[in-house]
């Protein structure tokens, strides 16, 4: 049973059947899955969703698959953490972290899009799947295709973090490093999709793949008790997830599951790769591409395909955007870890740092509800912390040696859980001082 | 002025250029080469460029592997043997 009516061009509205297709033939606009909302509104209720599995598949009526889910059966339904300790530090009333760093099985939001894309790929009868990736998608496609018994061909920039390369290779994909940045990889993958009959998840399965990102937004709304946060801050790389969170909020509103009283969506990018933020600030939908230079590798996309939609959604919702420097990103990673025990990758540090800037500049009022979307896990990118964390003392296994360490000040007092480095954070960054 | 610049056509556009994967054209700049392509294949016109003569924002144009927006856009000069690539943009990863 499926409520999918077909594919529809986001630009010119041209209609296409459900098939592998990367774009509109008439205008090259991206394609969106169209649903029969009237039928959906008769079927989908809060209760029907709550009775579903504890995974993203509880929203399957709003996802573009035909039969039973075939991949990612345990993906999604990640924690929405009420972040009171962090809220207090930042001087805000109501703050939540949606933590896709805890996603299953590969610890990033990509498990959502891949679960949907691979189910769809198998329904179409593909035996080889692939992707262009900044790391997290590679990791996820490799894992899910291994579990599904599919061959995978995965292309990444040549200089990704070790954790992402090893974390991908262990699943046995055909992994290819491409000399160049993500935008070079992306261009090559478009040509590969053109020549080989494979399911490239973010190319010819793009309309289905991107729908998986909606589940991040569905979960925020449901886990918040069937309401929307007044502010949602979302990282922008290719520009996929931000418009899909907006679509999720819209669909839930349309189906009468939540009320939308003007939920604002804000964009976060790294200062070393911020074409979308620059365009938002300039008030234009046409961004200028950039050559990325940032530690936030997973969101280092200088030529974001869905950038125009991210920009449009932000402006239509009344939101705004902010970018964060590498140093701000690293400090935000440590702040989140030391207040909420969530270790995120630089993309997450970017999103929190941008949130802090939007709070400080008054774009996000301190007394309104805020959700920060964390999309990836810090254990995959440990090299970015190098040199920032204190050396670890090594002692003999004798109580005297430990006493000596304590006597010499080697075990710090409790600094509100912020650890020995806590004071350093406060001294260096004005906006973290509270 | 270059006599022979190759333009690589993605599958999605080939029906507009008699099925060819590559079209050789003359021109002094990327813009002139693309204009030659549009003149020879009228049905491409509205798809590749908008009314203001700007490249469709869902299409990226490369000159020898470099996005022309990092060069001089449509004004970028070309020489014999250059390759212009038309590549649709795709979602992130």
pLDDT digits (tens, 9 = 90+) for A319-346: 999 999 999 999 999 999 999 999 999 9
Q: Which of A55, A47, A8, A11 is nearest to A29 (CA)?
A: A11
Nearest CA to CA, how far is A45 from chain B (Å)?
31
**Do A123 and A246 lie in a common domain?**
no
Is B16 within 8 Å of chain A by CB? Answer: no
Domain end among A210, A233, A259: A210
Distance CA(A205)–CA(A240), nearest Å, equals 13
**Domains recognised in chain B with CATH numbers:** 2-88 (3.10.20.30)
Please indicate, yes or no, whether residues A102 and A118 belong to a single structural domain of this protein: no
| The domain boundary residue, chosen from A157, A178, A210 | A210
Assess whether A189 and A98 both reside in one domain.
no
Q: Tell me, yes or no, whether A231 and A96 share the same domain.
A: yes
In angstroms, what CA-CA distances link A6 with A17, A22, A64? 5, 14, 9
User: Are residues A230 and A161 both part of a single domain?
Assistant: no
Q: What is the domain-level CATH number for residue A378? A: 3.40.50.1100
A369 & A245 share domain: yes
Closest in B12, B62, B92 to A301, CB measured: B92
Smallest CA-to-CA distance from A200 within A216, A184, A188, A211 is with A188
- Domain of residue A400 covers 393-432
Total CB pairs under 8 A between chain A and B = 95
* Cβ <8 Å between B58 and A306: no
Q: What percent of chain A has pLDDT over 90?
A: 84
pLDDT tens track for A291-300: 999 999 999 9
Does one domain contain both A57 and A30? yes
Q: A208 is written with which tokens?
A: 């289905």
A26/B contact by beta carbon, under 8 A: yes
The residue of chain A with its CA nearest to that of B13 is A25
- In the stretch 84-113 of chain A, residues with CB closer than 8 A to chain B read 110
Give yes or no: residues A142 and A167 share one domain. Answer: yes
* Shared domain check, A410 and A378: no
A260 and A186 assigned to the same domain: no
Q: Which of B47, B60, B90 comes nearest A203 by C-beta?
A: B90
Q: Quick one: which of A340, A332, A338, A356 has its CA closest to A92?
A: A356
Here the tokens at position B51 are 């009314």
Of A183, A210, A237, the position where a domain reaches its end is A210
User: How confident is the prediction along chain A (434 residues), in pLDDT tens digits per residue?
Assistant: 699 999 999 989 999 999 998 888 888 888 999 999 999 999 999 999 999 999 999 999 999 999 999 999 999 999 999 999 999 999 999 999 999 999 999 999 999 999 999 999 999 999 999 999 999 999 999 999 999 999 999 999 999 989 999 999 999 999 999 999 888 898 898 889 888 989 999 888 999 999 999 999 999 999 999 999 999 999 999 999 999 999 999 999 999 999 999 999 999 999 999 999 999 999 998 899 999 999 999 999 999 989 999 999 999 999 999 999 999 999 999 999 999 999 999 999 999 999 999 999 999 999 999 999 999 999 999 999 888 888 899 999 999 999 999 999 888 887 776 765 544 444 445 444 43
A303: which chain B residues are within 8 Å (Cβ-Cβ)? 60, 67, 89
How far B3 CA sits from the closest chain A CA (Å)?
26
Asked if A233 and A366 sit in the same domain, the reply is: yes
Total domain count for chain A? Answer: 3
- Gap from A167 CA to chain B (nearest CA, Å): 16
User: What pLDDT digit, counting tens, does each position of A299-322 carry?
Assistant: 999 999 899 999 999 999 999 999
A206 and A222 both lie in a single domain:
no
ipTM above 0.90, yes or no: no
Q: How far apart are CA A301 and CA A328, in angstroms?
A: 19
């Amino acid at each position: 049973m499926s409520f999918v009516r077909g594919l529809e061009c986001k630009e010119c509205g041209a209609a296409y059947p459900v098939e592998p297709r990367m774009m509109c033939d008439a205008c090259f606009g991206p394609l969106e899955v169209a649903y029969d909302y009237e039928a959906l509104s008769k079927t989908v209720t809060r209760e029907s969703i709550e009775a579903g599995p504890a995974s993203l598949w509880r929203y399957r009526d709003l996802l573009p698959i035909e039969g039973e889910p075939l991949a990612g059966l345990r993906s999604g339904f990640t924690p929405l953490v009420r972040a009171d300790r962090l809220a207090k530090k930042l001087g805000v009333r109501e703050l939540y972290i949606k933590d896709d760093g805890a996603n299953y099985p590969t610890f990033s939001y990509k498990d959502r899009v891949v679960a949907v894309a691979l189910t769809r790929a198998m329904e179409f009868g593909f035996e080889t799947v692939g992707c262009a990736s900044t790391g997290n998608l590679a990791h996820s496609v490799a894992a899910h295709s291994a579990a599904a018994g599919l061959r995978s061909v995965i292309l990444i920039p040549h200089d990704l973090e070790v954790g992402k390369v090893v974390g991908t290779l262990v699943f046995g994909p055909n992994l290819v490093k491409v000399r160049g940045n993500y935008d070079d990889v992306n261009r090559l993958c478009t040509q590969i999709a053109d020549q080989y009959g494979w399911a490239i998840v973010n190319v010819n399965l793009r309309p289905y793949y991107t729908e998986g990102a909606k589940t991040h937004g569905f979960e925020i709304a449901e886990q918040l008790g069937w309401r929307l946060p007044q502010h949602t801050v979302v990282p922008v790389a290719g520009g996929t997830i931000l418009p899909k969170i907006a679509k999720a909020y819209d669909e839930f509103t349309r189906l009468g599951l939540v009320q939308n009283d003007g939920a604002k969506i804000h964009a976060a990018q790294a200062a070393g790769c911020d074409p979308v933020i620059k365009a938002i600030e300039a008030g234009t939908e046409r961004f200028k591409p950039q050559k990325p230079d940032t530690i936030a590798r997973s969101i280092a996309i200088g030529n974001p395909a869905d950038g125009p939609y991210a920009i449009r959604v932000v402006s239509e919702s009344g939101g705004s955007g902010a970018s964060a420097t590498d140093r701000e990103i690293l400090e935000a990673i440590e702040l989140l870890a030391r207040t909420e025990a969530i270790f995120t990758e630089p993309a997450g540090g970017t999103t929190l740092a941008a949130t802090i800037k939007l709070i400080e500049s008054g774009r996000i009022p301190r007394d309104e509800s805020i959700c920060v979307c964390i999309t990836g896990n810090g254990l995959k990118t440990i090299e970015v912390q190098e040199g920032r964390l204190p050396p670890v003392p090594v002692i003999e296994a004798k109580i005297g040696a430990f006493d000596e360490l304590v006597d010499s000040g080697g075990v710090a007092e409790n600094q509100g859980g912020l650890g020995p480095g806590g004071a350093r954070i406060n001294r260096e960054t004005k906006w973290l001082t509270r | 002025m270059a006599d022979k610049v190759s333009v690589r056509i993605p599958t999605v556009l080939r029906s507009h250029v008699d099925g060819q994967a590559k079209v050789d054209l003359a021109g002094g700049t990327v813009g002139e080469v693309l204009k030659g392509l549009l003149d020879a294949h009228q049905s491409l016109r509205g798809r590749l460029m908008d009314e203001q003569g700007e490249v469709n924002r869902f299409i990226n144009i490369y000159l020898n592997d470099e996005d022309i927006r990092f060069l001089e856009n449509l004004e970028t000069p070309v020489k014999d043997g250059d390759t212009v690539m038309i590549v649709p943009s795709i979602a992130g990863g």
